[in-house]
Structure 1
Amino acid sequence: MSTDEKDRFFKLSLAQWSLHRAIGNDKLDPLDFAEKAKEMGFEGIEYVSGLYTKKLESMGMEALLEVLKAKSEEHGVENVLIMIDGEGDLAAADEKERNQAVENHKKWVDAADFLGCHSIRVNLFGSDNEEDWIANATVGLKQLAEYGQSKGINVIVENHGGFSSNAALLTRVIKNVNMDNCGTLPDFGNFCMKRDSGENWGENCIEEYDKYKGTEEMMPFAKGVSAKSYDFDDEGNETTLDYPRFLKIVKDAGYTGYVGVEFEGSNVSEEKGIELTRDLLIKIGRELSK
């Protein structure tokens, strides 16, 4: 299979979350992520901070980053971004809590800079009140983006539950921050705003933002794209999402950067799901580039 990027308008990266079960079950060492991605035909990689918790405890940040950088260079893959979780709420109503979250994220800006990534992906969860969320998210995000700017690193927000999955509100925040290095990471599948459990994850979605409208609204600010996938038919088409429609939205926005494969399904293995998503993106990419 050729992964020559000349016959499509985007480059292909692998989101590490696609392999989170293999890493969590100790079937794949997260230090071997670059090698695995290269084997599967990817040009770039997207790290997930939480998948290195154990390594950070045993190695420390500096040693970890040196290994990851060496591995990426050895296998000829580009370090694209780091997805940051568990470092506090950048949209918290409490100023002290919000400031602490900003401080917690700074080491990952430094890490991205060291690895040669262009961005870190952050979350904006925050309060239940819409206007409060916009105000607090704007403050926290701007503070971190200012630090990111000093290092040449973008700070990008994914639609990742709660108000952040309301693309109209999220883009208001991005416009409020009004910085070149502050943008979005549209994810095809994360537009659930409310679940019956009241949590950001798990359980049934009871309120969802229109995925296609949301992606369209986020694309003008996009510095990355997450091609989420869940399930496929016998012809290799994603059955829960209209991939041709998504890719056309991405292309029409003039986007030519990395599209990251982020498989989350359970009906096939992680590797098979990654391959199916990769091949579908290449197929549609070629069709749209004719």
Structure 2
Amino acid sequence: MSRHESLSRRSFLRGAAAGGALLGLGSGFSLRGSLALGAEVTGKPKPGKIGDFKISLAEWSLHKALFAKKLDNLDFPKVAREEFGIEGVEYVNQFFKDKAHDSAYLKDLKKRADDHGVTNVLIMIDGEGDLSAPEKAARGQAVENHKKWVDAAAALGCHAIRVNTGSHYSKSDVANAAEACSALADYGVKHKIHVICENHGGPSSDPDALLALIKAVNNPSFGTLPDFGNFPKADGKYAIDVYDAIARMMPHAHGVSAKSYDFNDKGEESNLDFARIMKIVTDAGYHGFVGIEYEGGGLGEAEGIKATKKLLESLRGSEYRG
């Protein structure tokens, strides 16, 4: 038995065990990604109604204000609710990097979210090492570095952390990355925290590579966070079919990131067909949080967030005509 075959078998057994354990963990830690019975998920969805979903705010949408110290991470839930009328928040660890094990800080942050009726959805993790590093010791250190954020997510009442899967794997070589991600996913299960992978540059933005990793780990708590826009471009245009890529990622999704850049005079996103994407999301049986992540330059951060929210709200329950 090869190392990869051995890993795949261990991952399968681990995933089966995790699946049995997760069935009792409640709606906040569901197997929706692997058990949903939606319509056929395709990048060319059939006409029909776009389903219901909740809206959250990715903290990166306000990164300019945060880096400029015009906004503090502790006030993020309040701003999400009072300025934007948004009920869920997605944190970025860069804005409280030294607080992962600061119980007083996390308790304060959770109380502020609770006081404003805001759900802590997930934490996006950056800068904690390459989970696909060629050296086993480096991969192991990256796993250990990420564990503290699993702990923080659990303390905040989140359901997931978003990880970067690293730069040293491909669709035909996922064994090292799968080994590390499996270890982290196992730790996540113990704390009722999903570990999810965004298409976030490098191999992760290649759906073939990312889905090969998901398959190799084979753990229902290890899934995807499809981002509408983070796919490779050439000459200013997407180099792959982003709608097909999102459709392939959605059956494994434990979150959705509504990336937006610019808007036309009808309020539509100029680069991406949001209606088509949200019908893909619906067909996958997903009804959880869809996180606003505005990254444009044409509007200020607040205006971009509001424009994205308005667009998403207009699509909820609407008819997609194809």
TM-score, normalised via structure 1 length: 0.88
Q: Which amino acid aligns with 1:11?
A: K
Counterpart Cα distance in 2 of 1:50 and 1:83: 9
Other-structure match for 2:54: 11
| SS at 1:152 equivalent | coil
Please name the residue that 2:107 is paired with. Answer: 66
Distance change (3 Å), C-alpha of 1:17 and 1:218: same
SS for the counterpart of 2:181 is: helix
> Within 5 A, what are the aligned runs for 1:1-290?
9-39=52-82, 40-53=84-97, 56=98, 61-127=102-168, 130-132=171-173, 134-192=174-232, 208-288=239-319
Structure 2 equivalent of residue 198 of structure 1: none
Instruction: Confirm or deny: 8 A CA contact 2:56 2:90 kept in the other structure.
Output: yes
Residue segments in structure 2 that go unaligned for 5+ positions in a row:
1-49
What's the secondary structure of 1:70's corresponding residue?
A: helix
Indicate the residue corresponding to 2:30 in structure 1: none
Is the 2:263–2:269 contact (alpha carbons within 8 Å) kept by the matching residues of 1? yes
Q: Secondary structure at the match of 1:286?
A: coil
Shift of 1:180: 1.5
Q: 1:232 to 1:206 in 2, by over 3 A?
A: closer
Q: Distance in 1 between matches of 2:199 and 2:278?
A: 17
Distance 2:93 2:111 in 1: 18
Distance in 1 between residues matched to 2:276 and 2:238, nearest whole Å: 22
Distance between the aligned counterparts of 1:282 and 1:148, measured in 2? 32
For structure 1, the 5+ residue unaligned runs are 1-6, 196-203
Q: Is the 8 Å Cα contact of residues 172 and 209 (structure 2) preserved in structure 1?
A: no
User: Residue type of the partner of 2:161?
Assistant: I
Give the whole-Å Cα distance in 2 for the aligned partners of 1:184 and 1:162. 15
The one-character-per-residue Cα deviations of 1:165-188 (angstroms, maximum 9, x if unpaired) are 111221121111111211000000
Alignment length, in residue pairs?
Answer: 271
SS in 1 for 2:172: helix
Say if 1:168 and 1:217, in contact at 8 Å, map to a contact too: no
Q: Displaced runs of 4+ in structure 1, greater than 6 A?
A: 204-207
What whole-Å deviation, never above 9, does each CA across 1:249-284 have from its counterpart, x for those lacking one? 101111010000000001111000000000100101
Identity, % of aligned positions: 51
The 2-side partners of 1:165 and 1:128 are apart by 12
Which residue of structure 2 aligns with residue 200 of structure 1?
A: none
* Distance across 2 between alignment mates of 1:35 and 1:215: 31
Contact 1:125 1:161 (8 Å CA) reproduced = no
Distance (Å, rounded) in 2 between the aligned partners of 1:51 and 1:230: 22
* TM-score of the superposed pair, with normalisation by structure 2: 0.80
AA aligned opposite 1:180: P
Measured on the aligned residues, the alpha-carbon RMSD in Å equals 2.1
Give CA-to-partner distance per residue, 1:97-151, whole Å, 9 cap, x none: 000000000000011111110000001122265533x112211110100000111
Contact 2:261 2:297 in 1 (8 A): yes
AA paired with 1:41?
A: G
**In 1, Cα distance between equivalents of 2:51 and 2:244:** 23
Distance 1:99 1:41, change over 3 A: same
Check the 8 A contact 1:8/1:288 in 2, yes or no: no
Alpha-carbon distance between aligned partners in 2 of 1:251 and 1:130, rounded to the nearest angstrom:
27
Spell out, residue by residue over 1:182-206, the C-alpha distance to the aligned partner (whole angstroms, 9 max, x if none): 10000000012x88xxxxxxxx779
What secondary structure does 1:121 align onto? Answer: strand
Counterpart CA distance in 2 for 1:26 and 1:131 is 44
Report the CA distance shift for 1:288/1:10 in structure 2 as closer, same or farther (over 3 A). Answer: farther
